[in-house]
Amino acid sequence: MTTPSDFTPACPIPISDYPQVLLAHGGGGKLMHQLIEKMFGPAFKNPLLDQQHDGATLEINGAKLAFTTDSHVVHPLFFPGGDIGDLAVNGAVNDLAMCGARPLYLSAGFILEEGLPMNSLWRVVRSMQRAAAAAGVQFVTGDTKVVDRGKGDGIFINTAGIGVVEHNLTISPKAVRPGDAVLLNGDIGRHGIAIMAVREGLEFESAIESDTAPLNDVVLKLIAAGIEIHCLRDITRGGIASTFNEIASASGVNVAMDESAIPVREDVRGACEILGFDPLYVANEGRFAAFVAAKDAERALAILRAHPLGKEAAIIGTVTADPAGLVTMKSRIGATRIVDMLSGEQLPRIC
Amino acid sequence: MTTPSDFTPACPIPISDYPQVLLAHGGGGKLMHQLIEKMFGPAFKNPLLDQQHDGATLEINGAKLAFTTDSHVVHPLFFPGGDIGDLAVNGAVNDLAMCGARPLYLSAGFILEEGLPMNSLWRVVRSMQRAAAAAGVQFVTGDTKVVDRGKGDGIFINTAGIGVVEHNLTISPKAVRPGDAVLLNGDIGRHGIAIMAVREGLEFESAIESDTAPLNDVVLKLIAAGIEIHCLRDITRGGIASTFNEIASASGVNVAMDESAIPVREDVRGACEILGFDPLYVANEGRFAAFVAAKDAERALAILRAHPLGKEAAIIGTVTADPAGLVTMKSRIGATRIVDMLSGEQLPRIC
């Protein structure tokens, strides 16, 4: 058995600061990025991993592929608008779509907790089946583990996915450049609020449902139309604030948002106020941002709005050179402020 | 929110028999196979999944690929001879190798429990780094989730993998036929016993170490030599008894083992007696069976024995037509008995 003393290099996360893993290390904010940048990134360093994308794009024997993985630990398992099953399918599908790939094949890795009602597993499996059919993907391989009662939480699902890249665009956070238009395919905040409302026992006049949806079809329509896409990102953990900070940081540009252009439903805004959240930081599961060349912005917007998953699409900002690496937002009254990455965990186990 | 009543088809596992998921549903034995055959298989049915292999083999734009996934929940995280990190790497590498593929790219999906010592995570990451380098694979995409204290167990790791298939063999449980020789690359039972010894606090004269190892190199040497391979299987959960039962069932043949030819180390045999286990059912993480045409058996054996991971290799049986679908074993005193699949959970959370 190896002992810690066998390891010459010290832990790259200062143990004095973080002796233990915190919930925030999985929250999509600063601590998670520190873990990725200081520990995982250097340990597994290679050019493909350095793409800093939702998935890796690879070439094998002439075939251009995208490859992605996501583990899903959402709590509760069932929530308004979806469950862990469709979330797991759409999560993998959307990561592949954000590479501009056509999703083809998924794997499913189940970690079940002893004592899980068999019917709950069946509900989730049925939900995965329907979501896979809706997205046009197939589960081709899988694995099941069961852990003792109290060592898991019902169901955790990992989905990895393979897609095929059939275009010649360079879609990457590093390809974003000043002048790009920033488009969003709809209103933000619904998934996170749907989950938190169940957890907190909040009831609204009409239920706020998760926006979970497969984004491959709408993305492939943008590509098919020849839109000059520079970057695509689904807006999940950490919300648009964290997503845009990642992109601003990767490409050394400023993502300048216009608050009045960002669609937020009134009931979601109200729920955010009650719960003390800022919609900019709330997770979505059917929303993505497209960074496109300015010349194509209006055409891209029209394509999004013509799609069932883009009816509320909007151009919510532009990319500028300065202040480099930052996200800014012009408020409704005209003041501009810096929108930072979330430092901790706003909504744990949201996906 | 959908309710169970929305689901027309009843749960395909009889709820009256199994109202809840049991540890045995993840143990590699009968209950796990029932779950796969009755629930996952029909729900996700497609020709690629029907291959019933350790991974799926696919063709994308002319490239022949293998794709696999495994979640790792081994307890304890560190054990003699390895830890969850190298197990997760070797698990994916070996599943791809069993498709006859050259493993190329892995994904890593971490589910961490809040409160995990940061140093433990670092040890595991370092171990994954070394194992990936040893197997010649790269981590190209990943995901990290953190669950609340008491809702996980330190670290769970999912690894999915992509490999490239560079041969024209049909390697599949269904390709096994009467007359095939059954080869094993070494002694069995070490991984399971290494884990159980730690859990039970047993001490032996010299520690029994896990056999965890990457099998891609030795498998590719068999393929490169032109051995007529019909099936490859790594011998993990459920041991050779469960693995051979799967193959006998898939191909409708009898796998006839010769007890005296199966290598088991004396200390492992002794530990099995103390712990009440049968080595035939104990998990391994660096052992595989090759079903090869009889004409190539001796040549395959020589190739295995020339490899560091095959020094103790042996021809441990043959395939016959009858009794179809069963595994039999000729004992040291000459009697033949049926070796059934494990019905329950012998060693939970062994990988």
Cβ–Cβ gap A21/B61 under 8 Å: no
Cβ–Cβ gap B63/A63 under 8 Å: yes
3-class secondary-structure state, position B312: coil
H helices of chain B, in order, are: 30-34, 41-43, 84-98, 118-135, 190-200, 216-224, 239-251, 266-275, 297-305
pLDDT digits (tens, 9 = 90+) for A92-136: 999 999 999 999 999 999 999 999 999 999 999 999 999 999 999
Task: Report the run of H or E that residue A119 belongs to, with start and end.
Answer: helix A118-135
The CB-side HSE value for A185 (13 A sphere, CA atoms) comes to 29
Q: Which residue(s) pair with A163 in the sheet?
A: A66, A103
Cβ–Cβ gap B146/A69 under 8 Å: no
Task: Report the run of H or E that residue A163 belongs to, with start and end.
Answer: strand A155-165
CB-CB contact of A29 with A37 (8 Å): no
pLDDT digits (tens, 9 = 90+) for B66-120: 999 999 999 999 999 999 999 999 999 999 999 999 999 999 999 999 999 999 9
Cβ–Cβ gap A20/B69 under 8 Å: no
Cβ–Cβ gap A108/B148 under 8 Å: no
Cβ–Cβ gap A72/B145 under 8 Å: yes
CA angle A70, A73, A78 (to 5 degrees): 115
Nearest to A211 by CA among A131, A283, A135, A124: A283
For CA atoms B270, B274, B276, B277, give the dihedral sign. negative
3-class secondary-structure state, position A112: strand
* Mode of pairing for the β-strands spanning A229-234 and B101-113: unpaired
For CA atoms A349, A351, B1, B5, give the dihedral sign. negative
CB-CB contact of B21 with A110 (8 Å): no
Cβ–Cβ gap A118/B4 under 8 Å: no
Whether B46-164 shares its CATH topology with B173-338 is answered: no
List phi, psi (to 5°) of A339. -105, 110
pLDDT tens, per residue, chain A with 351 residues? 444 445 458 999 999 999 999 999 988 888 998 999 999 999 999 988 877 677 899 999 999 999 999 999 999 999 999 999 999 999 999 999 999 999 999 999 999 999 999 999 999 999 999 999 999 999 999 999 999 999 999 999 999 999 999 999 999 999 999 999 999 999 999 999 999 999 988 887 778 999 999 999 999 999 999 999 999 999 998 999 999 999 999 999 999 999 999 999 999 999 999 989 999 999 999 999 999 999 999 999 999 999 999 999 999 999 999 999 999 999 999 999 999 987 766 678 989
Give CA–CA dist B350/B348, Å, rounded: 6
Domain boundaries in chain A? 46-164, 173-338
Question: Which of B59, B146, B237 is the mutation pick for testing A, counting most A CBs within 10 A?
Answer: B146
Q: Which residues in chain B have their CB less than 8 angstroms from residue A111's CB? A: 71, 73, 111, 156
How many beta-carbon pairs below 8 A join chains A and B? 324
3-class secondary-structure state, position A338: strand
What the block records as the tokens of B91 is 């698990």
Of the partner residues B36, B56, B78, the one whose CB lies closest to the CB of residue A140: B56
Cβ–Cβ gap B142/A44 under 8 Å: yes
Which CATH fold would you assign to the domain B173-338? Answer: Phosphoribosyl-aminoimidazole Synthetase; Chain A, domain 2 (3.90.650)
Q: Which residues in chain A have their CB less than 8 angstroms from residue B25's CB? A: 112, 144, 146
Nearest to B282 by CA among B203, B350, B214, B197: B350
Cβ–Cβ gap A36/B144 under 8 Å: yes
pLDDT confidence of residue B9: 81
Give CA–CA dist B183/B91, Å, rounded: 20
pLDDT confidence of residue B8: 59
Counting as low any pLDDT under 70, the low residues of chain B are 1-8, 344-346
* Mode of pairing for the β-strands spanning A63-72 and A56-60: antiparallel
ipTM: 0.95
What the block records as the tokens of B252 is 């409708």
Give the closest-approach CA distance of A299 to chain B in angstroms: 31
Cβ–Cβ gap B139/A83 under 8 Å: no
Give the closest-approach CA distance of A36 to chain B in angstroms: 9
Cβ–Cβ gap B156/A21 under 8 Å: no
CATH match for B46-164 among 1.20.1250.20, 3.30.565.10, 3.30.1330.10, 3.10.20.600: 3.30.1330.10
Give the closest-approach CA distance of B261 to chain A in angstroms: 30
Sheet containing B56-60, strands listed edge to edge, beginning at the edge strand earlier in sequence = B56-60, B63-72, B155-165, B101-113, B138-147
Give the closest-approach CA distance of A314 to chain B in angstroms: 28
Give CA–CA dist B142/A52, Å, rounded: 10
Give CA–CA dist B156/B84, Å, rounded: 8
Which residue's structure tokens are 């099953």? A85
Give the closest-approach CA distance of B119 to chain A in angstroms: 6
Give CA–CA dist A23/B115, Å, rounded: 9
Question: Which of B21, B36, B195 is the mutation pick for testing A, counting most A CBs within 10 A?
Answer: B21
Of the partner residues B56, B123, B145, the one whose CB lies closest to the CB of residue A71: B145
Give CA–CA dist A272/A277, Å, rounded: 5
CA angle A166, A169, A173 (to 5 degrees): 120
Q: Which residues in chain A have their CB less than 8 angstroms from residue B162's CB? A: 58, 60, 65, 67, 162
